Every structure is written in C-alpha cells, then in structure tokens.
Amino acid sequence: MEALWLSVRLAVLVAAILLVLAIPLAYWLSQTKWRAKFVIESLVALPLVLPPTVLGFYLLTAMGANGVLGKLWMAWFGHTLAFTFTGLVVASILYSLPFAVQPLVMAFESVDLRLLDAAAVLGAGRWRSFRQILLPLSVPGLITAAVLSFAHTLGEFGVVLMVGGNIPGVTRTISIDIYDHVQSLDYSAANRMAIALLLISFAVLSTIYAVNRRVWSPWPTR
Amino acid sequence: MTAGNSARAQLEAQFRFKRTGAGSHSAFELTANFRLDPGITILFGPSGAGKSTLLDCVAGLLKPTSARIVLNGETLHDTATNTFVPPQRRHLAYLFQDPALFPHLTVEQNVAFGLQDLDPADRANRAQDLLTAFRVERLARRKPAEISGGEGQRVALARALATSPRAVLLDEPLKGLDAELKSAIVDDLRAWNRVRQLAILYVTHQRDEVDALGERVLAIDRGQIVAEGAPYAVLDAPRKKRLAYAAGFENHLSAVVQDMREPDGVMRVRLAGSEAELEVPLAYAAVGNRVHVAIRAGDILLATRRPEGLSARNILAGVIDSLEINGPTIVCRVNAGAMFLVHVTRGAQRALELAPGQSVWLVIKTHSCHLVDE
C-alpha cells in the first residue's frame, strides 16, 4: 500500500501544480492571434504521441549530474533530480501537461466571446473579466483538467521507470509495484494493486463524464 | 445642419474599417462619417450592411484602420495621434442583438456588474432602480436561463444603462419581440432618456420601429452611409434599391418610361413584360428609359369590382395567384401583368371572400409609387 499512497501523493501534487501552470498557458493559447501558436500547441501535445521511454530518456539525461537541470538542482540543493520524488514531479508535470492544457483551452474557447465584450463595455478590464466571467464559466473544464492530470499521473509507468527508478517509498509508484509483483510471479499481490488502480480510474472517468460531457471527452455528445 | 445643431452634437465619428477575407469572413469595408445629437438616431439598413461593425468600432471592440471618434469633447480614438481608449474606459452603454447576459450570475448581479466603482449598498440600490425602471424587479434572483427572451432584453437594457453611460448603442434590441412588448420597452427607454438627453444610436432594419422611434435616420448600405435625415425623407424615397427592400417596399417593378407630363409632375411607365401601365411621380428620366418602381404592399388597395370615382390614378385588373397568412395580415399575390404583393387584413379577406383565381382590381395612388435606383 506504500506504493499506492506514493502514487496518490504524486498525482495530487502534479494535478495542483499543473492547474496553476496550465490556466495561464491555456488562457494565452485561447486568446492569442499569434500565427505560430501551433508550435506551442504541438510542444504541449507532444507527450500524447511520444513514447514515454523517449520523454523519460531525455528527462533523465537533463536531470542527471551532467544535465542542465541536474546541474542547476545540484547547485541549489546539493543533489541531482534523477531518482528523487521531486524529479518524478517534474517529469510527471511535463508528461501530463496536455491533459491539463487541452480541456482548459477548449473550455475557454467555448465561452461566448460576446460575454467578454459585454464585460468590457461594462467597464471590466481583462483581469476582472477573466476572474468573474471566463473562469467561472469554465469550471467543468477546470474539473476535467484536474481529474485527467490526476488520473494520468496515477497510472504512468514508462517515464517513472526511466526517471525515478524503483526506490521503495521514494519513487516506486503503484504501476511499478504491479510490474515488480508480476516479475516475481506474485500474481495475487499484483492483482490487488491492479484492481485498486482500475477502480480509481473508473471512478475518475465517471466523475468527469457526470460533470460534463462536452469538455474533452473522446465520446461524441450525441 | 445649423451651427446650433453642431454645438449640441455629442458624438462625432469618422472612421474606416477594413477586414480582409479570411476563413469564414468575407472581405468587408466600412466607411462612416456621422454625428449624433441628443435623442434617438436610427441606424437603418439591410443585414450585412455593416451596422453591427459600426457599433463595435464606436464601442472600441473593433479597431478601425483609421479613425477619429470624439465623445463630448473627449477623444476616444484618433489614429493620427495614436489615441485609443479601450472599451472598458469609454463609458458607453452597448446592447448587443443577443442579450449576452452572464449565465452564471443572477439578474440582479448582471445589472450590478457594471457598478463596480460604487460601494455595495449603492450598487444594490442602483441595480434595484434600473430593474424597477424596466419592470423586471421581480426577476432579480433568477438566472438568465430562467427568464423569457423579452425579459432578457429588458434585463440587458437595464444592465447597459445602469452604468451612467455617456452615449447609448442599441443593436436591434427588440428583435423578435411582439409589437406590444416593443412599444412598452421603447416607452420605458424614452422615459429613461427624457432627463438625461443622451445620444442613442439605435440599429434596426424594421420599418415599424423607425416610425415609432425615429427623430433622425442614418441609412447604411454595403458599408457606406447612403442617406441621413428625417425618417420620411430618408425611407419614403429610398435612393437605393437594396435599401428599399429593407424599408418595407415589398414590390419592385422594372418599367419603361412611356411619356412625361411635366406640368402635372407625373409620368407614365409600362411594366416590363406586360401591357400594364402605371402613373408615377416625375423623375429625372427620359422616354424609353428603364426605371425601377417600389411600392409598399400595404399601400395597394384591393377591390373585387372595378372601382369608379376614385382619385387614385392607377387601377389595374388582375387575378389572385395565392393567399398566405402572415400573422394578422394576409399576403395576397396578384398577377396584374406583373406579380404584385398586397397586404390585406384577415377581416378584409373574409368580407371580400378573397380566394385564389378570383379577379380583382388593384388601386395604387401615384405617390405610393417610389422610383429607386438600381
């Protein structure tokens, strides 16, 4: 159960940080008329198509003693990022970024622009209409983003294995735990963990689809 | 315009707006040069003429390519000096075609949205006052999804006017409402403006609203202001055929000038593709010229027997082609050489027992025939 608890802590932390990062990024993406914004969109979506081992490999290189990130971290904290919980958080944020940004962009873009015009004519600046009009009308998107980032981080395997290794209580997440049990032919232990993950994933998706079908769902609305 | 009028002008605007065609937008160019005096000015024109674009430019929601817009002496936009006051600091009331109420706020919160600068007690009072003035105070706690379209328009109007605006822009605010509701809202708007004497720019393409409201009309077509002046002067003698469509001239007839009777101020024209002739007011034309005649369907009388002893100069024999019910009026299509649309009341239709195939006579006064440009 240590592994499950570690995964949940990781997923909650990642989902929280992702919301903070993704809201401004998604707002900018939904508002900008910059022609090259597709470059940023592609970068954000990259983890969707990239094999986790590829992302994990480059992150590991960057976080190691000779990597840019690793050197910086070493200078500040006296150790590298690789094979630490913090390293897992950083890696998971990148890996789950599209799952937070895309529902938010969709939610922001689905708000009627005329409402923002109306707010402006009524004297509201950008910040006020963002806080009082755009954000409240995007709550289903916010929930979807948070829940998807949580679920996606909870189930990740490849990136964690590359970046975190398999240190009990530090980087051994639930999916790695399952893998370990299978390797050691302890199928009943693997099954307990797998069922826990299955049920959590199901609960999470039910929550999103119950809250809102329109925002980020692979299922058609009708 | 007299000097006295120009001293009263509240808003003066000259601008050009250009949109290049891209995606679903077609290329569009708008040139505007107008002034608004206190009271209601109607902006009238067919759809796609650029009415909403014009309002968006005045409100600052769109940026014209070149502009000089001055409100009560304050420059809102001047491309020559690089002055641009953003919409949130223009202090205008702008009501869109669609009420655009904030769906997550109650009616009262919607109306109070623009009152951020007041302290909470004053804000609540002002919102209440406006809700009362537009007779929606009982809806204060409801959400926009729980009120009707007409109520929504009233709330949107109250919200726009609550901010103590310096000028008012209304984009077809009464679209889709029935006539009784319309005139009630218009009365409330007039009452509100009686003491304030603000300039109100009111967009519509409906003739009945022009007659009910208008002190002055700006007619706009294809991105150009094509006429301005009193409603009857602008709309009863439309110079553009497209404008005539919008102004409620259901009949557009192509005709050829037969003879000119200058002493009487009239001329006779023959309708294209028929033997039927009409007497119409004298226009700058010559015998043999092709002209276009616009006639309102409501200006044509229908008789089941050939009328006698009338002052009307045009009596055409025809046959009813079809009858169509359109609210309280019946739209009668009559073939009298050319196809004419005639509006009659349901009562008249019953009394005359009008039916398709029946022979009738159309009675048209000379001055109900308006010559329009192609």
- Residue B242 in any domain: the answer is no
- Residue B203 in any domain: the answer is yes
Counting one residue from chain A and one from chain B, the pairs whose CB atoms sit within 8 A come to 54
Cα-to-chain-centroid distance, residue B139: 30
Q: Report the predicted TM-score, pTM, of the whole model to 2 decimal places.
A: 0.73
3 state DSSP class of B185: helix
Q: Based on the fold, state whether residues B199 and B286 are members of the same structural domain.
A: no
Mean pLDDT of chain B: 86
- Residue B244 in any domain: the answer is no
Q: Based on the fold, state whether residues B362 and B279 are members of the same structural domain.
A: yes
Q: What does the pLDDT read at residue B1? A: 36
Q: Based on the fold, state whether residues B231 and B266 are members of the same structural domain.
A: no
Backbone angles phi, psi at B29, to 5 degrees: -130, 135
Q: Any idea what the CATH number is for the domain that residue B327 is in?
A: 2.40.50.100
pLDDT in tens, B327-347: 778 889 999 988 999 999 988
Q: At which of B178, B206, B237 does a domain end?
A: B237
The answer to whether B88 contacts A117, with C-beta atoms less than 8 Å apart, is no
CB contact at 8 A, B201 and B41: yes
3 state DSSP class of A181: helix
Domain that holds residue B364: 251-372
CB contact at 8 A, A104 and A111: no
Q: Based on the fold, state whether residues B185 and B319 are members of the same structural domain.
A: no
Q: Based on the fold, state whether residues B160 and B204 are members of the same structural domain.
A: yes
Q: Based on the fold, state whether residues B153 and B269 are members of the same structural domain.
A: no
Q: Based on the fold, state whether residues B217 and B335 are members of the same structural domain.
A: no
Q: At which of B183, B209, B237 does a domain end?
A: B237
Q: Based on the fold, state whether residues B35 and B169 are members of the same structural domain.
A: yes
The answer to whether B98 contacts A128, with C-beta atoms less than 8 Å apart, is no
In this complex, which of A112, A115, A122 lies closest to B163 when CB atoms are compared?
Answer: A122
Nearest CA in chain A to B165: A122
Contacts of A35 in chain B (CB under 8 A): none
For residue A82, the number of C-alpha atoms closer than 13 Å in the C-beta half-sphere is 20
Work out the minimum CA distance from B163 to partner chain A, whole angstroms. Answer: 7
The answer to whether B87 contacts A115, with C-beta atoms less than 8 Å apart, is no
Q: What does the pLDDT read at residue B5? A: 41
Is B20 near chain A, with CB under 8 Å? no
- The rounded distance, in Å, linking the Cα atoms of A62 and A82 is 9
In this complex, which of B61, B103, B113 lies closest to A122 when CB atoms are compared?
Answer: B113
What's the CA angle centered on A159, arms A153 and A162, to 5 degrees?
145
pLDDT in tens, B79-119: 999 999 999 999 999 999 889 999 999 999 999 999 988 88
pLDDT in tens, A23-68: 999 999 998 888 899 999 999 999 999 998 899 999 888 888 788 8
Q: Based on the fold, state whether residues B173 and B286 are members of the same structural domain.
A: no
Is the reported ipTM for this assembly greater than 0.85? no
Q: Based on the fold, state whether residues B134 and B227 are members of the same structural domain.
A: yes
Q: Which residues of A touch B (CB under 8 A)?
A: 112, 114-115, 117-125, 128, 132-133, 136-137
pLDDT in tens, B255-293: 998 988 877 878 899 998 888 899 988 776 778 888 888
- Residue B186 in any domain: the answer is yes
- Residue B98 in any domain: the answer is yes
Contacts of B111 in chain A (CB under 8 A): none
pLDDT in tens, B51-82: 999 999 999 999 999 999 999 999 999 999 99
What's the CA angle centered on B317, arms B312 and B319, to 5 degrees?
135
Q: For each of the domains in chain A, give its residue range(s) and CATH number, in order of start.
A: 2-211 (1.10.3720.10)
The answer to whether A122 contacts B92, with C-beta atoms less than 8 Å apart, is no
Interface test with A, best of B61, B63, B84, B95 (most A CBs within 10 A): B61
Q: At which of B177, B203, B237 does a domain end?
A: B237
Q: Based on the fold, state whether residues B273 and B160 are members of the same structural domain.
A: no
Contacts of B126 in chain A (CB under 8 A): none
One-letter-per-residue 3-state SS of A182-210: HHCCCHHHHHHHHHHHHHHHHHHHHHHHH
- Residue B212 in any domain: the answer is yes
Is B88 near chain A, with CB under 8 Å? yes
Query: What is the number of domains present in chain B?
Result: 2
- The rounded distance, in Å, linking the Cα atoms of A29 and A192 is 42
Q: Based on the fold, state whether residues B227 and B260 are members of the same structural domain.
A: no
Work out the minimum CA distance from B145 to partner chain A, whole angstroms. Answer: 14
Residue B373 pairs in a beta bridge with B240
